[in-house]
Amino acid sequence: MSGLRVLAVDDEQPALEDVAYLLRADPRIGDVLTARDGAAALRLLDRAIADGRPIDAVFLDIRMRGLDGVVLGRLLTQFTRPPKIVFVTAYEDHAVDAFELKAEDYLLKPVRPERLAEAIRRVCGSRGEPGEGPQADTIPVELGGVTRFVASTEVRYVEAQGDYARLHTATGSHLVRIPLATLEERWASAGFLRVHRSHLVAVKHIDELHIDSGKCVVRVGETEIPVSRRHTRELRDLLVRRARRGQAQ
């Protein structure tokens, strides 16, 4: 495939020049367009579509005069062929917005070349470049003032805590401001199943299922998770189908 055609958007000229310079230095990038505000970005995107050369990815600042990056990102998701979005910002408090818009990455300024290279890799992977497998969905979490991304493949189960959700991995847990219902919908295709009003489980990490006196629980590692009656049959049938596929293979 040809190099990516990308658009960098930032209302601060020095920051825009820095990101554009780093993008042009990457061999996976073909054309780099730039815009100083959201309105100009939309005009460039429309012109690119009209010319038959649509933009593959937008590297987008968030806090801009006029049309801010989050609003612009929402507009981009309405395109027939939406470009991939990578947020580039000096602020950490929009990571949830990035997740909800299915952004490929969330970079903090000043942008380090290695982090930009990783963001480009994610864009290439989701675009289907040769040699790149499908990318796991990721969710931003805060660790000691640093934003990092936890892949859905790392998560064993999720526990609802009000409007928040706690992601449990093999090495610990992370509290994120995202409702369990949002994760249920977003991660259904990644093998997660709602087993209780307060729990979402990665089916591949279920070690055992117990049904005793009509009550069902599953064991994930050392943790036992209740399964509501309305979800018991669906989960049991799913585990049986998975076991049969394993035997067939």
Of 178, 111, 110, 108, which is closest to residue 145 (Cα–Cα)? 108
Return the half-sphere exposure (C-beta side, CA atoms, 13 A cut-off) of residue 107: 25
User: In sequence order, which residues have a C-beta less than 8 Å from that of residue 176 and are 6 or more positions away?
Assistant: 96, 139, 140, 141, 164, 165, 166, 167
Residue of 101, 181, 180, 172 whose CA lies nearest to 138: 101
Please list the pLDDT of the chain residue by residue as tens digits (249 residues).
Answer: 468 999 999 999 999 999 999 999 999 999 999 999 999 999 999 999 999 999 999 999 999 988 889 999 999 999 989 999 999 988 877 777 777 788 888 888 999 898 899 889 888 876 654 334 445 677 878 776 667 778 888 999 999 998 899 999 998 899 988 889 888 888 888 889 999 999 999 988 998 888 887 788 999 999 999 999 888 888 877 777 766 665 555
What does pTM read for this prediction? 0.58
